Every structure is written in C-alpha cells, then in structure tokens.
Amino acid sequence: MKIIFSKRVYFFALLLCSLNMMAQEFGKVAGKISLSGNTAAENISVTLKGTKYSDVTTVSGQYEITRVKPGSYTIVVRAVGISPVEANIVVTAKQTTTKNFALNESQEDLQEVVITKNKYKQDKPSMSLRLQTPVLEIPQNVQIVSGQTLKDQQITSMSDGVIRNVSGAVRLEHWGDLYTNITMRGSQIQAFRNGFNVVSSYWGPLTEDMSFVDHIEFVKGPAGFMLSSGDPSGLYNVVTKKPTGVTKGEVSAIVGSYDFYRVSLDLDGKLDKKGKLLYRFNGAAQKKGSFRPYEHNDRYVIAPVISYQFDDKTKLTFEYNFQYANMTEVGSYYVFGPKAGGYATMPRNFTMTAPGLPDTNIQDHSGYLQFEHKFDDNWKLTAQTSYFKYIQQGYSSWPSAVGPSTTANGPIGNGDIIRNVGIWDADSNMFLGQIFVNGKFNTGSVSHKILGGIDLGDKDYMADWGQSHDLDTAANPFNIFNPNYGTPSNGFPQFDHDTPLSQRAGGLYGSEYAAGYIQDELGFFQNRLRVTLAARYTWIKMTSSYQDPQEDSHITPRAGVSYSITKDFAVYGLYDQAFLPQSAEVTNGKLRPLTGNNLEFGVKKDWFDGAWNTSLSAYRIIKKNELTADPNSTPQKPLSMILGEKRAQGIEFDLRGKIFDGLNLIANYAFTESVVTESNVTGINVGAIVPGYSKHTANAWLNYTVQSGKVKGLGASIGGTFLDGRQTDTWGEGLEKLPTYFKLDGGLSYEIGKVKVTANVFNILDKYLYSGSYYEWLQAYYWQAEAGRNFRVGVTYKF
C-alpha cells in the first residue's frame, strides 16, 4: 500500500509540474487605454488580430490578456463609433508585454459605445465590492443590473421591479414602496450602498430612488470578506452615479396611470479647465397616486457629488444623497378579511384607509467621503467614511379586530373591522468607516491579488410605536361590504409628536462593530486556476432597550476555487461563513448574532466573445440564531423569536446580454427550499417550511432595437414574472395558500438623435395580482393587491 500511495503522490506531483511547465510557456499582454484629456477608457475591446485572445478595459482603462502563446501579433483596439487602432507587438514566454494606447475620441463617444456594445451585461463589479476580479472569475454568484436596464424598464425605485432581473429574488410586499426588503435564498438579504451596510433595523433603509443610481450588484451568499457583516443569503449593493469628467446632461419626464408624474435631471461635468475638479448632480421630483383611493407616495431627491484628482495617483470624492418621502400612512395598502373568506375577496381597488389621516414624512440623508491613492499600477489604498441619518414622523394602520369576533367592548359581525392607527416616529444614525488595500504581485509563477482592510461601524435606531388609537367602535365598526369613508366613529388620533423621541421611544436598538480581514487570490498556470483564501475577525456589541448589552466576536473563514476551462468558461466552488448583529425584542432566550455558512458550486460562461453570459449555481446555507416574527407580534408591539437553525438550498440560473446586434435578453430561474432543522419555538416543528419566499421563480425581459433602415432606433420589449409555491411572510398558514403568480409587461421605444421616447404597459393581462399572509392573533387574512393594467410614457433628452 505504501508503494502504491507513493507512486500516486509522485504521479500527481509530476502532473502538476508538467502543467506548470506548460503554463510557463505562455506570455501576457497588458496596458492602459486613455481618451482625449487623459480620461481612462472603460469597456473598450482589445483583441489580438486573428486569434481568440481578447479583453475589455476596466474602469481605470486597464486591460490584461493572459495565456498568450509566444510570437508576433497585431493588437487591435476597437469599438463601435471609435476608429480602430492597431499596433504590432511581440509576446515572449513568461514575460509581460506592455502596450498603452491614447485615443483621440472623447468620453461622450465612449458612453454611446458602451450602450451600443451591451446594454444589459457588465463584466466587472464596482470597486465598492473591493475586488480586482472579473465577474466570470469570481468564485461566487454575482449578478449586476445595469443602468440601461433600469431605464428600459422605467424602474423608478429599488422596490419598483428591480428584482425581476435577478434569479430567486422576491419581495415581501409588506412595506409597499417604503422599504425594499428583498428575500433571496430563503431569507431577507442585507441592503448596501456604495459598499456600506445601511441596515440599522429590520425596517430600513428607505428604498432608493433610481435617479442617483448607476447600477445594482446582487451578491449571492456571504460576502463579509469583502464588505461589512452580511447575511449568509447575500446582499444587494446600490452603486451611485459618480463624475465622469465629461460635460453632459440628461433630463427625463415620465407620466403614467393613476396620477403618476416624474421629472429627473442628471448633470455631469468639470469645474476647472484641467479636469481635476469634477461634479455630478442628480435630482428628481415625483407625484404618485394609486389605483386605491386616498393613497399617494411623493418623492423628492437631490444627490450632488464632487471629486478632485490631485494627480494621477490621488483622488478625493464627496457625495451627499437626500431623499424626502411624503406618503399615506404605512399600511394603507392592506385589506383584511375573515378566516372563512380567504384572500382577495374584495375588489382590487378596495381600501380600508381613513381619508383625513396626516401624511407620513421621511427624510433620508447620507454623506460619503472617499480617499483613493495608487502607490503604483499594482497597489491602491482606499479609505472612506459615511454618515446616514433617517428621520420618520408618521403613522401605521392595522386593525385591532376583524369580525366575526368578540372585542372588549362587544361583538362585531362578519365584514366588520375595528381599524387602528399607531404612531410611528423613528430616528436612526449610522457612522461607518472602511479602509482597505488592493494589491498585485507574483511569487515565481504564482500570481497574488491581495485584499486587506478594517471596517468600523456604530448604528442606532429608536422608534415610538407605543401610541395607538382605534378609529372605529364595536357599536359602529367599519364594514368592508358597506364602507364609510367619512370621519371615523371614534375620531382621529391626537398623538404626542412633540416630546423628544428619546424620551418616548419604545424601541431602542444599536450595534457597534469592528472587523479586520485579509484575502489572497492565488493564480496558478497563468491565472487559469484561482484559489481564494480569506478570513475575517469581527467584534460586535448589540444594545437594546429590552435586554442587557450583548458582546461577541468571531472569525469567519472563506475558501474558493475557480478554474477557467477555456478563457470564457469557468467552474467554481465556495465555502464561506457569516456573522451578523441582530436587533429586536426577543421572547425566548438571549439575543445573539446570526451565524451561518454557505457551500456553493457553479458554472459561468461567456458566449460569442462575451456578448452574453450564463451562470448556473447550486448552494446550501445553514443559519443559526436567526430571528423570526413572534406569532403574537403586532405592529404596535413588534416581537421576535430565536428560531434555532434552518437550512436553505436551491439552484439558480441567469442569462443576460446581447444575443445579436439589437437583441438583448435577461432571463433567470431559481428553485428555492428553506426548512427548519432545529426549533426553539413551540408550534414550529423541525421540517416546517420557513415563510417569505417562492419555491419557483422565473423572469424574462427581451428587448429588440432596429439597427438600420427607415425605422432605425425603433425598439420593442416584452417581459414576464412567474412565481409558484409562494410562501406567506408569517408562520400562520390559515386555510388557503397563495396562488401561482404571473405578470406580463411590455413596451415600445424610439430613439432619434438626442431624444428617446419610451412607453411601457405593466400587467398587460390585467390579472388580479396580490401577496398576503394569515395572522393567527387576528384570525384573519390580509392581502395587498397590485395595480391592474397600467402604463408609463417617458421622454429623455440628452445634451
């Protein structure tokens, strides 16, 4: 046996040596491409003529073509609208041939090139994900929703249909357009903005307006190694618009059904002749009615950004985002019905709200200061800090009784409801800081991409939801079959908004954390095989008005492998862990951080020179100490329970990109299953289905634009969303399950010169679509309907 084992070890070592010797026969071509004004040229194609060797430049204009056989080549820089540039080069084994290009075109030309080349596919993540690796080579499922996708689909906020572009993402409609609350891989994922975790409580942040959003990155599975603490199920990272150094502008106006009016402005340019001081300004104003009467949601946004480039190596950027929302009370979109009735027993436009209730007002402030310094082409330091301030003054409506039932003041009959309004004033502050280093170097034939840094955070959230008022009485209830929208029988509430919130807050939550992390991506065989090794140490302190402060610390490791079978075909495997603070009042045991691990395998492939991409992944996530809503919880007194342990597993498939010139497609499918494996809660058994997701989700969006002829610029789109095996967002099952969901959307567009007109129709089939749950403590169903067939028409002018 020893002899056989020795022979096998010798054979394996010989094989590795042979592969390494083969890899060392190759060379590498690298360089930088810049435009007029020394602006970095992003997304420019670089090809070795007559071969399959190619790359696309990064945001800093860098390109790198690996595994090139030694010899003489013609290198070509080419893009639609930009004159091709060619040069002769010689590639030598085990050496890097450097070739830089300076193009005469401007950034305006390049912007058009990027959109023409590929509207829906982005090959590289933003630097806020801290990676130096193309999406194809990252050992994890990362999906990027491009800015052009947001425009084509006329998406105006983070909760306005973004998730149709990502496999397995569903939304708990509980919060309407107030909070996004996306569920993926069986759990609610964390919300990030420019690489910062902006969640201070379960109820936030305010859903982002798309006027200041460049694109959105969805990271499946844990990502604590590259960002601050995150949920094992994943996160979404909203990347805001930054100055490009080009003087240009864009104004858009949209009108739509149900009194929808919106204007937005995007200005980009230089504040000095040398182009060192740059600016970007985005603003929007929106008036939005509803298919339900007495309901509205108005938004106002300003988002200025200023950056200063000290020299080729150092840059300072300041950004401020302000969102103001003025809306009907939270919960105005709910309809409740008795247990015997089930879901959707009332017309789609039925409402239970009481006209005359004051509006709910929200202010969402965020400021960022970022310092970037390049020591050389291989090493870069980034330090950034941010402050988030959230202020809410308003109301939440929810019934205190649904008939037939008996209240403290007497019985109410079938269809009778005692409507209740609670105060919801809230204040949140977050101070966040990050400093990290990206580096590249080689040790012999092995390449290294290093990431290391420190994260610091201090978050607090306080709210008053302790004041409530019944709008109706048992003697004169609100009846859904004969509604009276006049002054409620018990009058309107008179809540105390004047006493400082800190003195009347019933919910006080906070967390502090400090973390350090290091990651090395090792490249073998000319970076064909990539091994990622990482670890993160996190210290967390959680505070709550309901419990003594809790402290904990943990080391979360990460190991990933990615192998390029060909230049455009990669397979990967990943093991990762997560460690996340939680905030709530728990009714069983002590509040502890959430811990979890993720095992994932996948395949990624680019097709037709990177025009479109497919990815297929399978995963298994184990989570411990996760909180879940207590069945006895009410909006006026939210309570949570420590569930124990749950397992989520599934398969995800994504396709996005340009199938051929003019035809772009986004399509995805996910199978998800989440069950309880250990339970600390009476009534929730091992094997129980965890609420809050759909077992099957499928989406598609197809867009075609005529490329030539008399109707050049005319486009058409069609898309759909299918959900099956939908779970409610509570543990109460009731007698009826949510039905299968299908929504069909489509539209037309026409672009000529600087003007583009886009028109979309949503819910073309005019289906009665809704989500909902059953509440044990009310013995009632609730549901929230979506609008029937509706439209939006928009005009965009570029200048």
Task: Look at residue 423 and tell me if it is in a domain.
Answer: no
Q: Is 57 in a helix, a strand, or coil?
A: coil
**CA distance readout (Å), 150 to 190, 209, 264, 301, 700:** 21, 11, 14, 17, 14
676 within a domain of the structure (yes/no): yes
Instruction: State the Cα–Cα distance between residues 10 and 708, nearest whole angstrom.
Output: 62
6 vs 273: CA distance, rounded Å: 70
Tokens of 599: 């095992």
For 671-706, give the DSSP string: EEEEEEEEE-STT--TTPBPSS-EEEEEEEEEEEE-
Q: pLDDT tier at 584 (50, 70, 90 boundaries)? A: low
Beta bridge partners of 171: 182
CATH number at residue 43: 2.60.40.1120
DSSP string for 361-379 = EEEEEEEEEEEEEESSSSE
pLDDT tens-digit series, residues 205-226: 789 999 999 999 999 887 655 5
Any domain includes 176: yes
Instruction: Collect all residues with Cβ–Cβ distance below 8 Å to 132 and sequence separation of at least 6.
Output: 438, 440, 449, 451, 521
271 inside domain? no
Same domain for 220 and 253? no
Q: Where would I find the H helices in 204-288? A: none
- Residues 497, 521, single domain; the answer is yes
Instruction: List the domain range (segments joined by +) for residue 142.
Output: 127-240
**361 lies in some domain:** no
Q: Which residues of 427-461 are buried (b: 16+ CB within 10 A; e: fewer)?
A: bbbbebbbebbbbbeeeeeebebbbbbebebebbb
Give 773's Cβ-side CA count (13 Å radius).
Answer: 18
Quickly tell me which residue has 């970007």 as its tokens.
Answer: 280
Residue 387 and residue 485 in one domain: yes
Q: Is residue 31 part of a domain?
A: yes
Give the model confidence (pLDDT) of 555-564 as tens digits: 888 899 999 9
Mean pLDDT calculated for residue range 337-355 = 92
- Longest Cα–Cα distance in the chain: 92
Task: Please give the pLDDT value at position 621.
Answer: 92
Q: Total structural domains in the chain?
A: 3
Contacts 24+ apart (CB under 8 A), 500-506: 501/425, 501/426, 501/427, 501/462, 501/463, 501/464, 502/462, 504/464, 504/466, 505/462, 505/463, 505/464, 505/545, 506/463, 506/464, 506/465, 506/466, 506/545, 506/637
Whether 677 and 605 share a structural domain: yes
Q: What is the pLDDT of residue 530?
A: 96
| Residues 344 and 223 placed together within one structural domain of the fold | no
For residues 93 and 142, membership in a common domain is answered with no
What would the pLDDT profile of 22-60 be if each residue is shown by its tens digit? 445 788 898 888 876 666 777 788 889 888 788 878 767
- Residues 586 and 609 both lie in one domain: yes
Same domain, 157 and 74: no
Supply φ then ψ for residue 647, to 5 degrees: -125, 130
> Are residues 52 and 22 located together in one domain of the fold?
yes
**Domain CATH number, residue 727:** 2.40.170.20
User: Is residue 226 located within the same domain as residue 258?
Assistant: no
> Which of the two residues, 570 and 636, has the higher pLDDT score?
570
Residue 710 structure tokens: 């008399």
* 419 domain residue, yes or no: no
Range in 14-28, 91-105, 245-259, 331-345 with the lowest mean pLDDT: 14-28
Query: Residues 87, 147: one domain?
Result: no
Same domain? 516 vs 553: yes
> Distance (Å, rounded) from C-alpha 369 to C-alpha 382?
11
Per-residue pLDDT band for 736 (boundaries 50, 70, 90) equals confident
pLDDT in tens, 432-443: 999 999 999 999
pLDDT band for 17, please (50, 70, 90 cuts): very low
Computed over every residue of the chain, the mean pLDDT equals 87
- 3-state SS of the chain: helix, strand, coil percent to 5? 5, 55, 35
CATH of the domain at 221: 2.170.130.10
Alpha-carbon distance of 624 to 39, in angstroms, equals 48
Distance in angstroms between the alpha carbons of the first and the last residue of the chain: 77
Residue owning tokens 């495997």: 573
Residue 590: predicted pLDDT: 73
Inside any domain, residue 776: yes
